[in-house]
Amino acid sequence: MKKILHFLKKTAPFTIPAILFIGIMSYSNAEPPKKESYSTFMEQVQKDKVESAYLDRGQGIVAYETKSGDKFVTTHPEYDDFKKELLENDVKVTSASSSGGILSSILPILQLALIIFVIYYFYMNMKMMKGNVGNAKAGEVIKKPKVKFSDVAGYAEVKEEVENVVSFLKEPKRYLERGARMPKGMILYGEPGTGKTLIAKAIAGEAGVPFYSASGSDFIEKFVGVGAQRIRTLFEEAKKNAPCIIFIDEIDAIGGQRGNETNSEATQTINALLTQMDGFAEDTGVLVIATTNRLEMLDKALIRPGRFDMQVKVPIPYTAEERLEIIKVHTKNKSFADDVDFMALAKQWIGFSGADIESIVNSAAILSVDSGKEKIDMECFTEAYDRKILKGHFKKDSQKDRDEDVLKLVAYHEAGHAVIGKLLETGMDVDRVTILASTTGAGGITFFSPKKMGLHTIEEMENNVKVSYAGRIAELLLFGNEKLVTTGASGDIEQATQTIRQMISTYGMTKEIGMLNLEILGVDKEVMVKHASELSARLYNETEELMKEHWDKVVRVAEALLEKETIMEDELDELMKDPETVEESIQAEVQKEEVADIVTTELLNTVESDVASTKKTVTAEDTEETF
């Protein structure tokens, strides 16, 4: 009974208006019948104007309808033959049962009870659902992860940075005696696929403590307050098993910068998280580790000192040696052909994360099986790399169906990229050029690999724009008519525009703008377009002049592409040499061979002469001894 009263009290603000609304609508929709005198009614019956009549003796009324459709109500007479008289005049008669009066009086009460029951039913169901969702555990619990730092390839500096946290979890008393406070929270941030989750597990594994894992999205539900309840439940359980680690992956799902929506689910959840962290005692022994790809998007209250005050960047593997370590981890228990050079792969895969490397190795293994090879060879890795870069694969079989004019256009376009890429210092090497079409729609592609990671000069940035423009310029010089250039340079233009925008608005690489960040200033687009157009025009013109000067190289590379379809870097280097230089090299080689032949002949003659002299001496000595 108490539950029902509590329910009625809770739902009264909703049920009472609903009932009133239903009642008003019912009353407004029902057209009440007109009252008529009994004598008029009987006169209509005798004139055969009444279609039907409803007799309710208990209520003392007769509700009837005329043949014209009008409805009336009149008084029920007190004599027994009334119904018989109506039937004799062809009136359709229906009568209420003896309990009809009671039923009609309690019908509104039954309707009200039904409405309340339906609302109560849905209310209890929603309450049970909310309770079940709120009590559901977020994520998983790993009592003692088996992952150690030795299982994390590379990242020596990151491991060193978090080593003191491991020591704190292992021996908290040693630090507490010195008055040191263990960090309450740590954020591992960096690009996707760099191994942030693996490092968090390794910290728990090295410390030998339980690992409570959850994702930021686990705390977001349609019921406001559920996420906050899950946070409290998670922390209560973690405190019981301290020392331990609470791991929240992709914390930006709940920890983004808060706006004006003070009652939103994400806001309540993050408030609960901050409250729990603020409530930690110095010897609680619970460390919260979170990961994010976008540190700048997190709420400032989250990363202030005393909360997630330890922030560790997990970068893309910087050196070839680090990438080689990761390659070795992912190539265990796999068979490889003798031509596979892991260091060469590590040098080529600059800018790739650990997840990227694992994906390529796995793709190469799949390709080796599909092609019927016994072992994974370098060709498998090359194709896997191409698929990663292209987000598709080459359509080798369809090459014969392509129009010759289209192939020529693509060959000159890619030759333009390759030649300018070789002539200018861009911070990248030209590994390969191909005119093979791909499933992504690209007619050809020039593969560049970065020589380094990190800082780039103004010269390199400008030269990269020139390389992007080179394909379109090669088309223009081939046709000699601006009207005949194609849409094939759309991706190049997008890339060049992005670089120019960064140079002007972010990097302060133009004299006209100076050392200003235009994005912070919020400069109008017209200003950006003006300076970008001027820089673009200058770089385009410089590229065009350079290509005209070296057009013969573009022609040689394009013709070689039409013949071979794909050119490797060493072949490209040979094609970049001038014919005179090549002829001089050939003559020099011939001269070297001629000199070598002369020297060899003289040496042979000398040896033969020495041998003959030796034979004569021996013969003379033998003759003397005989005599």
Rounded to an integer, what distance in angstroms lies between the CA atom of residue 587 and that of residue 280?
Answer: 81
Cα end-to-end distance, the chain, whole Å: 149
CA–CA dist 95, 167 (Å, integer)? 92
Residue 537 and residue 469: Cα distance in Å, rounded?
10
Residue 254 is predicted with a pLDDT of: 79
pLDDT band at residue 180 under the 50/70/90 scheme: confident
Average pLDDT of span 63-67: 86
Say if residue 200 is exposed, middle or buried (CB neighbours under 10 Å; 0-12, 13-18, 19+): buried
Is residue 12 scored above 60 in pLDDT? no
pLDDT-derived band of residue 618, with 50, 70 and 90 as boundaries?
A: very low
Is the predicted pLDDT of residue 318 greater than 60, yes or no? yes
Phi, psi of 35 (to 5 degrees): -80, 140
Q: Per-residue pLDDT for 170 more than 50? A: yes
Cite the active site residues: 414
Residue 109 has pLDDT above 80, yes or no: no
Q: Render pLDDT for 399-453 as a digit per residue (tens, 0 to 9).
A: 666 788 889 999 999 999 999 999 999 888 898 999 988 877 677 888 888 887 7
